[in-house]
Amino acid sequence: MVPNPLNREREARREGPWWRVYAPVLLCVAVMCAVASYLAYAAYASTHTSHDTIIMIESNWSLRNGNGTIHVGGTVADNVINKGSEELFLSAAISVGGTVADNVINKGSEELFLSAAISVGGSADNVINKAISVGGTVPGGVYTDLLFANVLKGGDFYYRYNDFEYRWVANDNWTYSTTFDVDPKLVEHERVALIFDGLDTAAEVLVNSKTVGESNNMFVRYVFDVKDYLEGTTVNLDVAFRSPAEYATQKYNEQAVNYIVPPKCVDPAFKGICHANHIRKMQASFSWDWGPAFANLGIWKDWHLVGWNSLLVKNIMFAAHPTSALPSVPNHDFKPGWDVTVKVLCDSAIEQGQMEGSVYVSLADIFSMKYTVTAVIENYETMLTFNFTLEENQVDMWWPNGYGSQPLYELSAVWKNTDQSEESTASVRVGFRTVDLNQDYVNETDPTKGRHYRVIVNNVTMFMKGTNWIPAHVLPEMVTEQYTRELLKAAADTHQNCIRVWGGGIYETDVFYEIADELGLLIWQDFMFACSMYPVDEPFLETTKMEIKMQIQRLQHHPSILLWAGNNENEAALRGNWYGTASDFELYKRDYIKLYVDTIKTVAVETDDSHPFVISSPNNGIESEEEGHVANNPYSTLYGDVHYYNYLSDAWLGHATPRTRFASEYGFQSWPVFRTMKAVTTEEDWNRESAMMYHRQHHPGGQAELALQIGLHMHMPPQDGSVEVYEYYLYLSQIHQAVAIKTETEFYRRAMSELNEKGEGYTSGALYWQLNDIWQGASWASIEYGGRWKMLHYYVKKFFDPVLVSMYVENEKLFVYIVSDLVHPVDDLRLVIDLHRYDKKERVRNISDTVIVSPSEASLVMELDMWQDLQMDRLCTYDLYDEEDVCFVVSHLYHSDGSLAAPDNFHLFGKPKDAFLPHATVSLDSISGPTETQHSNWTFNMTVKSDEVALFVWLEVDYRGVFSDNGFLMTGDVVVEFYAYEEVSLKPFIRMTL
Please give the positions annotated as active site.
Answer: 569, 665
Q: Which amino acid is at 492?
A: A
Q: Which amino acid is at 698?
A: H
How far apart (Å, rounded) are the C-alpha atoms in residues 961 and 979? 5
- Going 149 to 151 to 152 to 154, the CA torsion angle's sign is positive
List Cα–Cα distances, 509 to 33, 318, 513, 600, 874, in angstroms.
Answer: 34, 19, 7, 21, 60
How far apart (Å, rounded) are the C-alpha atoms in residues 548 and 564? 10
Q: Are 922 and 945 in contact (CB under 8 A)?
A: yes
How far apart (Å, rounded) are the C-alpha atoms in residues 117 and 376? 48
Length of the chain: 994
Q: Are 599 and 637 in contact (CB under 8 A)?
A: no
Q: Are 283 and 504 in contact (CB under 8 A)?
A: yes
List Cα–Cα distances, 419 to 225, 309, 310, 357, 359, in angstroms.
Answer: 25, 12, 11, 8, 13
Q: Are 299 and 140 in contact (CB under 8 A)?
A: yes
β-strand partners of 858: 819
Q: Are 699 and 290 in contact (CB under 8 A)?
A: yes
Three-state secondary structure string covering 427-475: EEEECCCCEEEECCECCCCCHHHCECCEEEECCEEECEEEEEECCCCCC
Q: Are 933 and 977 in contact (CB under 8 A)?
A: yes
The 3-state DSSP class for residue 618 equals: coil
Strands 454-457 and 435-438: antiparallel
List Cα–Cα distances, 824 to 466, 497, 801, in angstroms.
Answer: 22, 18, 15
Q: Which amino acid is at 542?
A: E
Contacts of residue 428, defined as CB under 8 A and 6 or more positions apart, other chains included, come to 316, 318, 410, 411, 557
- Going 306 to 357 to 372 to 353, the CA torsion angle's sign is positive
Using CA atoms of 970, 971, 972, 975 in order, give the dihedral in degrees to the nearest 10: -30
The 3-state DSSP class for residue 188 equals: helix
How far apart (Å, rounded) are the C-alpha atoms in residues 546 and 551? 8
Contacts of residue 626, defined as CB under 8 A and 6 or more positions apart, other chains included, come to none
How far apart (Å, rounded) are the C-alpha atoms in residues 604 and 587? 24
Contacts of residue 39, defined as CB under 8 A and 6 or more positions apart, other chains included, come to none
The 3-state DSSP class for residue 216 equals: coil
Q: Which of 275, 281, 282 is nearest to 250 (CA)?
A: 275
The 3-state DSSP class for residue 342 equals: strand
Question: Can you say how many angstroms the Cα of residue 20 is from the centroid of all Cα atoms in its chain?
Answer: 42
Q: Are 600 and 620 in contact (CB under 8 A)?
A: no
β-strand partners of 317: 343
Q: Which of 933, 953, 952 is nearest to 943 (CA)?
A: 953
DSSP state of 291: E
Question: Can you say how many angstroms the Cα of residue 268 is from the centroid of all Cα atoms in its chain?
Answer: 25
Q: Which amino acid is at 39?
A: L
Q: Are 611 and 556 in contact (CB under 8 A)?
A: yes
Helix (H) / strand (E) containing 993: strand 990-993
How far apart (Å, rounded) are the C-alpha atoms in residues 338 and 718? 66
